[in-house]
Structure 1
Amino acid sequence: MATIFIKDLLLRTQVGFNPHELGKKQDLVLNISINYLTQGEELSDEPGEALDYREICKQIIALVEGNSFNLLEKVANDVADLILSIPRVQSVEIEVDKPHALRFARSVSFSLSKTTRQ
Structure 2
Amino acid sequence: MMSSVATINIKNLRLRTFIGIKDEEINNQQDVLINATIRYDAKKAIAENCIESALNYRTITKQIIKLVEDNRFALLERMTHEILSIIMSYEDVVDASVEIDKPYALRYADSVSVTLSASR
Which runs of no fewer than 5 residues in structure 2 stay unpaired? none
Residue from 96, 100, 107 that aligns with 2:100: 96
C-alpha RMSD of matched pairs (Å): 1.2
Percent of aligned positions that are identical: 42
Post-superposition offset of 1:37: 1.2
- Alpha-carbon separation, structure 2, partners of 1:82 and 1:42: 24
SS of the residue corresponding to residue 63 of structure 2 reads helix
The amino acid across from 1:49 in the alignment is S
* Structure 1 moving runs of 4+ over 2 Å: 42-45
Residue from 15, 20, 25 that aligns with 1:11: 15
Bigger drift between 30-39 and 72-81 goes to: 30-39
TM-score (norm 2): 0.91
Identify, as 1 or 2, the structure richer in helix: 2
Map 1:54-69 → 2, pairs under 5 A: 54-69=58-73
Q: Does 1:70 align with 2:99?
A: no
- Alpha-carbon separation, structure 1, partners of 2:70 and 2:33: 16
SS of the residue corresponding to residue 103 of structure 1 reads coil
Residue from 46, 49, 63 that aligns with 2:50: 46
